[in-house]
Structure 1
Amino acid sequence: MDYYRLTPSVFNGKRILDTFYSKTKYWLIAAFSILVIVSTNCTSTYAQKYNFTHYDIEDGLIQSQVNTLSEDSENRLWIGTLGGVCRFDGSGYFTFSKASGLPNNFVYSVFNDAAGNLWVGTHSGLSRYKNGKVYNYPVPPEFKSAWVTQIVQDGKGAIWLLMDRRLFRIHGKKMIHVNITGKDESVNALTVTRQGVLHAAVYKAGVYTLQDKKWAAYLPATGVYNDIQITRMLFDRKDSRTLYLLTPKGVLVAKAGLLRQMVPSPGLGGEKKNLLFNAYCLSLEQDADNNIWVGTDKGAYYFKNGTYTHFTAENGLSDNPVTYIYKDKSDNLWLATSGSGIFKYEGDAYVTYNDINAINNPVIMGIARGKNNGIVLGTDIGLLKYSANEFKPVVKPGLERVQNLFRDSKGNVWVGSRGAWRYDGETAELIKGTERHTVLNFAEDSNGVIWMATSMGCLYYKNNVIKALENNHIFISSLLHLGNDSVLVGMQEGVTLIVNKQFVKDFKLPAVSNSSIFSMIKSRNAIIIGTDDKGLFVWDRKKNIVKNYTDRNGLKSNAVYSLAVDDNDVIWAGTGRGVNRLAINYQTMDCKVLSNQYANDLVYESNQNAILYHNNKVYIGTAKGLSVYNTKTVAAKETAPYILIKQVNLFKNGKGEKGVLTPATTGLKLNADQNHLSISFLGVYLRDPSKVSYQYRLTGLEEKFSQPVKTNAVDYPALPPGKYTFEVRAVSPEGVLSANTARFSFEIVPPFYRTTWFTILAVALVILLIIGLQNLWHHNKKQRERTIEAIKHEEKLKIRQQTAEDFHDDLGNKLTRITVLSEMLDVQIAKDKPEQQKLVEQIRQNAISLYNGTKDILWALDPKSDNLYETLKYIEELGIEQFRDIGINFKCEGVDDEFKHVKLTMEYNRNITMIFKELMNNVLKHADARLVTLKASRRNKSEMVISLSDDGKGFDCKQASKGHGLKNIKTRAARINGELMVYSIINGGTNISLHFSINTNTLS
């Protein structure tokens, strides 16, 4: 009983110990009363089980005494217990407690604000949790108790809380005490309207609202309600003017300033005979359909459409106190209990009765509608009448082990058992002639004839006489009236047809010939056949179309025991592993298995032909009792899951690296050997976590999302280098995509030899290598060419040298000999022969002239003359010799030793010497000069100028340009790519300069 001492709502009012002892006494009295009531009513026991999903410590809950619930922005449920806080995401739990930084494990309130903070109210103060960090707010020293029972956030984002029945507001990292009515006030409850307006309940003062930073009375405490302790407040979601007030003794409703009881309650003015719950009220909530839920120390009460349901352990909940009730954003309703964990209410779309008789717990083998529209059940112990959730046995000796029930056109219920029985609602009569038969199924034709399927053939009942068909000693399991006198017969090996009470020998339906037939029904133009191993067959007799549907198409099992059709033409199939709903296209006979809108549907084995559709409900008999489905249930609104990436495992060289990656990592770069990733994700969908599927893709590798899959992890074993973004989204069972798409971006850095810079460098190196090899080849080629040219040049030099020597020795000697011989001849010729002497003189002069001419040729042939310096010195010698002893002064300027390094080809030095020899001859012949100057200069590194000037009489340049001599000189200048510049003034002298380049073409 310790949970009463620890439950936060108990702190409102009397002292803790007084509450504990008084509640313990009250609980013991109530428990004794319940025990007496149960013992006095055991003669009519039944157990109607509602649909709850239960989560407790065996599922991973941190502690079973739960005080509070809250949902965060990612649809995860935070649970506050007396053992700390845990977070439930539909598949697992994350927990933190005092060991993680909380000041105390007793958690009384949790709240998720709009900024993503989790606020935790504990027995020792307030804590804030975000991104794995806990901040504990210091408790003001003037307050001795620090238990925080409620936390809310107003429309402006301010956080308000109740600590030790005092109101506080969060300001930065401090808690600021706020007074509403006075210093000694006791604030017991807080709530915020949809508009974000804060309301507070002050004991003996009433409800106050905060408007424009000022407190104003919203509902004063007056009259009989002056001393009421308000522990919870809730504004109606549909009518914001209606305020529900929870007290330990019941619920009050405030509207337009008036208070009234929602239901009569002890201590709130209700009379004893009208009291609804004689229990201690702990929690209050309004569900998605605006129905009110009240949690008490004796389970929970559910108020709907003027009626109520009390949920306890007997009908699916728990007998432990329901400390908190919470509706999440997906309209799931959660009930927190003190000692049994939490429960999720799955709605009243279907209920089960699995303890119809506390002693025998019968199996439901047949279901039919009686004469007064009551439901009749066939069991191993006989018949039961079901009405208003009560079961009453029909006592009839011999009527046990019921196999099947059938209602005929007159309202009689036919019972298949050891023999056939007819039940009219009052009495049961055994049909004579059937005592030795086990009747498995019934059918009625249009003439009112009752057909019976037995283990030994087919019987029919007409005019109070039982008859058997001829030649029909076969096991028959199912019958279906097709029209007039035609009956379709289901056997252990397919089906056959009876027409006019005769078997049709040629009738065959090959598709089902090897299957045992369990059930058959008609729906419009389709005949649906349930088999033992091949699921369903849909048969259109007119078009002779037969289609088969199995567990591959969505059936829960291939064994289909029972079939029914509701008013919406939905086919209900009871299988070996639960119930399926199907929709048929009656034109094509295509069949679609509908999604299961009945949450938490149990896996029960249906019994053969134990099914009934009546008054918008489907009754199905199972091996564990009766299941009742409401076909008019409004499907819950479709909600979207929230998807998040849970973990990214990184593998390197075949080994996992722990904690390497988190989904929040941005700009992540991985090495080339870290290209094996395993990514796990989760779609948070608390309505039905196991039915969530996923679609994902890895941009950079894939373009389209995958088909929906159930697995929540994907492995990428060998990703090539590149930039990637993993995207995943969740899909609800109804096909609704998650509102968000979870993303995780990363980059696998290529190895250095696959990077761009390395590629560029490698290409550059290859290009440079190619260029280098080409240059080397070209250099070697040029080197070879230069070597060959050098060899050739050297050979030419040798030839020139040898030629010059030979020419000098041979021609010089011969010319000298001619000269000497001519002189000797001149001596021998008589003086009186002047003509002969003149002829000899001419020979001698020509020989001397020829000798002098050969000197130019010999100089040009000599390799020593292949430089500019030697060329200039040779021209200087020609000038000196040309102008000696004739009264003309000759000067040479600018001939420097640096010109020795300027090599010239033989063509250059030959043409240069001939140009200036011709110019000096022209000066001697025509200039009448007194001073002739030869000057050499270098304008720059690549241009040379050699000029010859005189102070003679000059000439007209225009007239002189027509002469052949100057033209020949210019022609020689053009041969060496030079230019001849002529400047002359009559009676002012002449200057002629030769400009030519000194480059590779000039050098020898």
Structure 2
Amino acid sequence: MKFLKFILLCLFSQFTFGQNPYYYNIDRTNGLPSNSVYDIFQDSKGFMWFATGKGLCRYDGTTFKTYTSDNQTSKSGSCISEDSFGRIWYCNFDGYLYYVENGELKSLPQKESRGYIKYSIIKDKLFLMQLNGVIVYDLKSLKPIYFYPLTDINIRSTYSVGSKFYIVGDYIYEIDYPKKIKKHELSEDFKKNLEVPIVQVIKDELFIVSKYSNYYYTYKENKLTRKEFSNSFDFIQNVALTDNAPWLCTPNGIIKYENNKATYYFSEYNVSYIFKDKQQNYWISTLNNGLLFIQDFKNNFIPLDPKPTIFSPYNDQLLIGTENDLIYGLQLNDLSIKTVYKNNSNHPINQIIGNEKNQNIYFTASKFKILNQTNTITKETSTAVKDIKKIDDTYYAVAASGVCGLFKVGNQKSKWDAVFKKYYNVPNGFNESSIFRLNGKSTAFNSENNCIYYATNMGLKFVNLKDVNELKFQNKPLFITNLQAYKNVVYALSTSEELYKIDVNNKVTKVSIFEEHLKERFTKFKIQENSIFLFSTNGIIEYNLIDNKYRKILPLTSDLEVTDVAVIKNEIYFATSKGIIVKNKFKNKEFAKPELIVNEIKVNSVLQNEKSLNDLEYNQNNITVNFSVLSFNPNEKNSVLYKINDGNWNRLEINNRNLILSSVSPGDYKLYLKIDANYKTPIQQINFKINKPFWLNTFFLIYLGLIIIALAYTFYKYQIQKIEKKNQLLLDKINLEKNLNQSKLKAIKSQMNPHFFYNALNTIQSFILTNDKKQAVSYLSKFSTLTRTILEMSEKENITLSEEIKTLGLYLDIEKARFDEDFNYEINIGYGIDIENIKIPSMLLQPYVENAVKHGLLHKKGTKKVTIDFERIFDSLKITIDDNGIGRQKSAELKAIKNKDHLSFATEAMQNRIELLNQYKQQNIAINFEDKLNKNGQSSGTKVIIEIPITY
């Protein structure tokens, strides 16, 4: 009903004016989990916390993070607070407590609930009302440590003051832990009328309000005093203490009650709470429209429909052009609004200026029009005027579509009369002089050098009292969208959003200070008094041309657009898409600077505290730093810079709030984080150390070095021993070859000994004496062939089996000549023996054959015979030398009689040679001797068996 009366009053008075300050609405479209918000709190780090219909959430100015748990009985709640351990608590409307710790929502173990009654945190204790008393919890262990029994069934509210916890029921109960509970009397009037009391503490006095009564109580020093409100309220659902005054939160707005006077705000909202943060911003929670963010209650907001587009000061009012061909007049004395001009063309007014001397208003909507002091249109033309600036009391500079020139409004004599006359055209109802037939966008006049500047589609033109010309920058045309004059210079904004300055000598320079200090691009600017107001997508920035300081004076959101700004006396007026915002130029406080907060640090996805970061293992090298940028300036976006040790600063993506360092090498690190801003910002430093793996530690390296040295020494000794062994083997081989050669030489000597030659020559001599020339020649031929063969074989290590058989045949033929016809020999070659390819050591068999003849057959009477058999057994060659002589034993006895010191060559030299051959050739030549016996046990000869591995 009150709201309806307010609307009727506004309609009757033709006002859409209210006393509300300008606010920013934060709701589900901005990420708020629910538009139903019951409580507001700011923690020690600066984060804002909200108890919503979807649970508890945290806000850093950009992002909402909601904390819920599967074991919640319900999510809606209130009474947010923080304990000394940094945990955030709240109570749901079922009366159960929950807290946020390490990024998770956890529940306090409770056996029962009395329903929603506020708890209190006092130092390191938590006081919680239950069905039959008060439980005191130790906050460190979260375990009950004391219980105060209470039988009062009419408990209605609780609160705390200092170290004491109070309960409002049939009495006021006072608990000063660990003392016993005290109770204080209450009046019957209090018990009767304050069924649901709401308690706030103002200084040292309690302020107690009933939800349904129009009076309240104060309680101090056990004295209860009843007081009346000066206004009546239908329903009070909460009381907040802000700016040392109680604020009554109602379904029809919020009421500041100060000095027994009520001031109403936001009557169209169902308000649940108001909170003032550390940055002196105000937050109002509503039950259906989310949050209202207010920078300053001293700012005024005037809703206006249709949307304002442009300002122009005029007399004692501010002319406001709108988007629907409507002009309002804002009265500067009381901020009331009157309609100056209204038309139904529905065209936006994009240019307006008031001339106080002739009391005319010039503006452009669908046409360019002149409005007189009786608010009547006196003239109009279809010329689309884009900009008009005053030169003197007689002329205005005009930039319009198709024409740029002068517009005459008075009859006083002017220095521009000659220029106007020179370019005067055929009159079309206006006193207009067209200097340029171009599309004009903006114009400005510099009174110091008497130059008028025109921004056209063909570049930046200027005209003075004598000349018309074009201005260029670095010999290139300038395409300008906006021109503004300030004292003796003109500022120009190009189509590429770069700002230029034109001095009195028409020298054009680029203004670099904005590029150096401002991170935001701007598409429009306006000079008012000594300030340049820059219009960016994120806000309006005021740059003071006197002290070169700048500040963001008005943040913008997606649903808030600013089209113009005006400074009149001590007030700054903003034309926005929602209406007119009025701020005091001097009392308007700056928005708080953003702050970087490190939330958590994870190592290999495991949460770590700062102490543990100084002793990380070599494989704990994946570091994730989660941080927040606290900034409660609407639509402000801040990027973050980081660097490691003395490296360069690197920029993270503007919405990225995680710095991930992967596979970091061992070492000591200093990680720096800071907000990228136009001003000096605090730097957050995080130190961490990743230890080297044990195999890279100094002691391990020393130990490893010693092991390597020992191994190297061992390897060195091994190599020396190996070389020595190799040399020894080489020496042994040389000795072996030497011995082998000596053995071979002995074999040659044995076959060419003087006794053999003597016998052979005697045989030849006997043939000659008996005149048996044929036998002598044959014998001599065989002897010479044998001699030559032995000499040739002495040069070879191995000979073919055919060569050996031939040599044996020659030898036996020569020996046969010594005997009578009773000596015979046989050489038998077994099946499968390739005598041309199988090789055996040279002069290996002949000594054994010689022994058979010389020692076995020589002393035998009767038939004498030597048989030599060659057989192949698998990969071995078996050679058998069989004689029917006197045997080895009898032969040894005869030799012993003749020469006691003689040693048989076959028994010593040849055995030694066989061993040398086996060692040198890595072969296995085997020799066996068999003594043959007859039936009587007497010796009947000797058999020598030689086995040689076959090699080709």
- State TM-score, norm by structure 1: 0.58
| 166 and 404 in structure 1: CA distance in 2 versus 1, 3 angstrom threshold | farther
Mapped contact 1:640–1:739 kept (Cα < 8 A): no
1:64-95 Cα shifts (integer Å, max 9, x gaps): 44333444444344433455434444554554
Deviations along 1:329-377, one digit per CA (max 9) or x if unpaired, are 4444333333444443333576666x623xxx3452x312232345443
| In 2, Cα distance between equivalents of 1:740 and 1:253 | 49
Alignment of 1:64-463 (within 5 A): 64-97=35-68, 99-127=69-97, 129=99, 130-131=101-102, 132=104, 134-139=106-111, 146-154=114-122, 156-163=123-130, 169-170=136-137, 173-174=143-144, 178=148, 183=152, 186-192=155-161, 196-198=162-164, 200=166, 202=168, 213=179, 227-228=193-194, 231-236=197-202, 240-241=203-204, 244-248=207-211, 249=213, 254=218, 269=228, 275=231, 278-287=233-242, 290=244, 292-302=246-256, 310-312=264-266, 319-320=269-270, 322-348=271-297, 356-357=304-305, 361-364=306-309, 366-377=310-321, 379-387=323-331, 388-395=334-341, 402-408=349-355, 410=357, 412-417=359-364, 418-424=367-373, 426-428=374-376, 430-431=378-379, 435-446=381-392, 448-455=394-401, 456-463=403-410
Q: Which amino acid letter does the alignment assign opposite residue 482 of structure 1?
A: N
**Share of identical aligned residues, percent?**
13
Number of residue equivalences: 699
SS of structure 2 residue aligned to 1:478? strand
1:324–1:251 Cα change, 3 Å = farther
AA matched with 1:148: Y
Between the aligned partners of 1:524 and 1:222, the Cα distance in structure 2 is: 74
CA-based RMSD: 5.0
- CA distance in 2 between partners of 1:282 and 1:174 (Å): 32
1:552 deviates by: 8.2
> Over residues 88-124 of structure 1, what are the superposed CA-to-partner deviations in whole Å (9 max), with x where a residue is unaligned?
4455455454x53345545343322112344443445
Q: Tell whether the 8 Å contact from 1:117 to 1:128 is kept in structure 2 after alignment.
A: no
- State the Cα distance separating 1:692 from its structure 2 match: 4.3
Aligned to 1:427, the other structure's residue is in SS state: coil
Secondary structure class of the residue paired with 2:608: coil
TM superposition shift of 1:571? 1.1
SS in structure 2 of the partner of residue 116 of structure 1: coil
* 2: CA distance, partners of 1:732 / 1:191: 43
Q: Which amino acid aligns with 1:564?
A: I
Residues 203 and 228 of structure 1 are in contact (CA less than 8 Å); yes or no, is this contact kept in structure 2?
Answer: no
Paired AA for residue 166 in structure 2: A
Which amino acid is the alignment partner of residue 70 of structure 2?
S
The offset of 1:405, in angstroms, is 2.0
Q: Is the 8 A contact 2:281 2:296 kept in 1?
A: no
Equivalences for 1:11-30 in 2 at 5 Å? 30=1
2: CA distance between counterparts of 1:618 and 1:299? 27
1:598 to 2:566 alignment: no
Distance 1:741 1:226 in 2: 59
Does 1:483 pair with 2:443?
no
Alignment of 1:782-821 (within 5 A): none
Correspondence for 1:582: 543
Check whether the contact 2:283–2:294 (CA below 8 A) recurs between aligned residues. Answer: yes
Instruction: Could you tell me which runs of 5 or more consecutive residues in structure 2 were left unpaired when the two chains were aligned.
Output: 413-429, 733-952
One-letter code aligned to 1:612: A
Q: 1:363 to 1:405 in 2, by over 3 A?
A: same
Partner AA of 1:716 in structure 2: L
Change (3 A) 1:308 1:758: same
For the structure 1 residues 717 and 256, does the alpha-carbon distance in structure 2 shift closer, same or farther, using more than 3 Å as the test? closer
Q: Distance in 2 between matches of 1:474 and 1:219?
A: 88
Looking at structure 1, the residues matched to 29 and 447 of structure 2 have their Cα atoms a distance apart, in angstroms, of 57
Q: Alpha-carbon deviation of 1:126?
A: 4.0
1:118-175 Cα distance to aligned partner (Å, 9 max, x none): 44434454435345474534457xxxx6113212233x43323445797654367338
Write out aligned runs for 1:776-855 (5 A): none
8 A Cα contact 2:351 2:386, kept in partner: yes
2:468 to 499, 505, 511: 505
Shift of 1:643: 1.9
1:312 CA displacement: 3.5
CA, structure 1 residues 406+208, in 2 after alignment: closer, same or farther (shift >3 Å)? farther
Aligned to 1:615, which of 569, 582, 588?
Answer: 569
C-alpha separation in 1, matches of 2:143 and 2:410: 92
Distance in 1 (CA, whole Å) between partners of 2:183 and 2:389 is 72
Question: Matched residue of 2:436: which SS?
Answer: coil
Could you give the per-residue CA deviations for residues 201-222 of structure 1, whole angstroms, max 9, x where no partner exists?
Answer: 6357679795995888999769
- The range that moved more, 41-50 or 481-490, is 41-50
Structure 2 equivalent of residue 474 of structure 1: 438
User: Residues 279 and 681 of structure 1: is their aligned pair in 2 closer, same or farther, counting only changes over 3 Å?
Assistant: same
One-letter amino acid of the counterpart of residue 771, structure 1? Y
1:572 CA drift (Å):
0.9
Q: Distance in 1 between matches of 2:248 and 2:74?
A: 28
Q: Structure 1's 398 and 72: CA in aligned 2 closer, same or farther, altered over 3 A?
A: closer
Relative to structure 1, is the Cα distance of residues 538 and 34 closer, same or farther in structure 2, using a 3 angstrom cutoff? Answer: same
SS of the residue 1:534 aligns to:
coil
For 1:662, the aligned partner's letter is L
**Alpha carbons of structure 1 residues 251 and 386: separation in structure 2 relative to 1, 3 Å:** farther
1:695-750 CA-partner distances (Å, limit 9, x unpaired):
44445xx5677679744333434533x14556454549685756965566555747
> Within 5 Å, which residues of 2 pair with 1:904-919?
none
Deviations 1:525-566 (A, max 9, x none): 442223333332233336946224577863754532x41224
Cα deviations across residues 894-935 of structure 1 (Å, max 9, x unaligned)?
Answer: xxxxxxxxxxxxxxxxxxxxxxxxxxxxxxxxxxxxxxxxxx
Conserved 8 A contact 2:643-2:671: yes
Residue 661 (structure 2) pairs with residue 716 (structure 1): yes
Counterpart of 2:155 in structure 1: which amino acid?
Answer: S
Task: Give the aligned partner of residue 519 of structure 1.
Answer: 482
1:173 to 1:304, Cα distance in 2 relative to 1, 3 A? same
**2:500 alignment partner in structure 1:** 537
Q: Secondary structure, in 3 states, of the residue corresponding to 1:559?
A: strand
Cα 1:642–1:557, aligned 2, differ >3 Å: closer, same or farther? closer
Amino acid at match of 1:68: D
Match of 2:422 in 1: none
**Partner SS, residue 146 of structure 1:** coil
Kept in 1: contact 2:321–2:350 (CA 8 A): no
CA contact (8 A) 1:416 1:440 kept: no
Distance in 2 separating the partners of 1:114 and 1:735 = 33
Helix, strand or coil for the counterpart of 1:149? coil
With over 3 angstroms needed to count, the CA separation of the structure-2 counterparts of 1:378 and 1:405, relative to structure 1, is farther
In 2: Cα distance, 1:447 partner to 1:123 partner: 70
Letter in 2 for 1:152: S
**Inter-CA distance 555–165: structure 2 relative to 1 (3 Å threshold):** farther
Q: Indicate how the Cα distance of structure 1 residues 454 and 679 shifts in structure 2: closer, same or farther if over 3 A, else same.
A: same
- Which residue number in structure 1 is paired with residue 598 of structure 2? 644
CA distance in 1, matches of 2:292, 2:438: 52
Between the aligned partners of 2:676 and 2:147, the Cα distance in structure 1 is: 45
How far apart are 1:685 and its partner, in Å? 4.5
How far residue 488 of structure 1 moved from its aligned partner, in angstroms, is 1.9
Q: Is the 8 A contact 1:490 1:516 kept in 2?
A: no
Shift of 1:190: 0.9
- CA-to-partner distance for each residue in 1:832-887, whole Å, 9 max, x for gaps? xxxxxxxxxxxxxxxxxxxxxxxxxxxxxxxxxxxxxxxxxxxxxxxxxxxxxxxx
1: CA distance, partners of 2:80 / 2:532: 46
Letter in 1 for 2:77: V
